[in-house]
């Protein structure tokens, strides 16, 4: 049986304004909770104050995700003027992919 080719996606979240102790991502894939915020993935806080996590996905999988300040959609990220923003999208098209998001606000 052939092994499924995979990609490691490095998610990085930079906070530009809000101060929270925890940051989560939730997305369309099962290992990102399958859009269920109860299954959202907690990111690790780096020494520079950014948040990150590496996750493995099948090669060429289209990933959509949002950033949360808690495990519910009431705490979803917002734009600079607190507007709703579209899902972030990344394709696991090579062996290692890095995606970085700057969060200006979270929903109150």
**31 phi, psi to nearest 5 deg:** -80, 0
Q: What topology is assigned to 6-106 in CATH?
A: Immunoglobulin-like (2.60.40)
Torsion angle defined by CA atoms of residues 44, 75, 49 and 6, in that order, rounded to the nearest 10 degrees: 40
For the chain, the domains span: 6-106
From residue 90, give the alpha-carbon distance in Å to each of 3, 35, 47, 49, 102: 23, 16, 25, 23, 15
pLDDT for residue 3 is more than 90: no
From residue 92, give the alpha-carbon distance in Å to each of 8, 58, 62, 68: 7, 7, 7, 22
- Position of tokens 């959509």? 64
pLDDT for residue 38 is more than 70: yes
What's the pTM? 0.92
């Amino acid at each position: 049986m052939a092994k499924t080719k995979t990609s490691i996606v490095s998610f990085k979240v930079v906070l530009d304004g809000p101060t929270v102790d925890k940051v989560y991502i939730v997305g369309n894939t099962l290992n990102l909770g399958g859009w269920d915020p109860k299954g959202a993935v907690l990111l690790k806080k780096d020494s520079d104050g950014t948040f990150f996590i590496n996750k493995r996905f099948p090669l060429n999988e289209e990933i959509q995700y949002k950033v949360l300040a808690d495990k519910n959609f009431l705490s979803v990220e917002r734009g600079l003027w607190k507007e709703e923003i579209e899902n972030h999208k990344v394709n696991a098209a090579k062996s290692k992919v890095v995606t970085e998001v700057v969060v200006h606000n979270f929903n109150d």
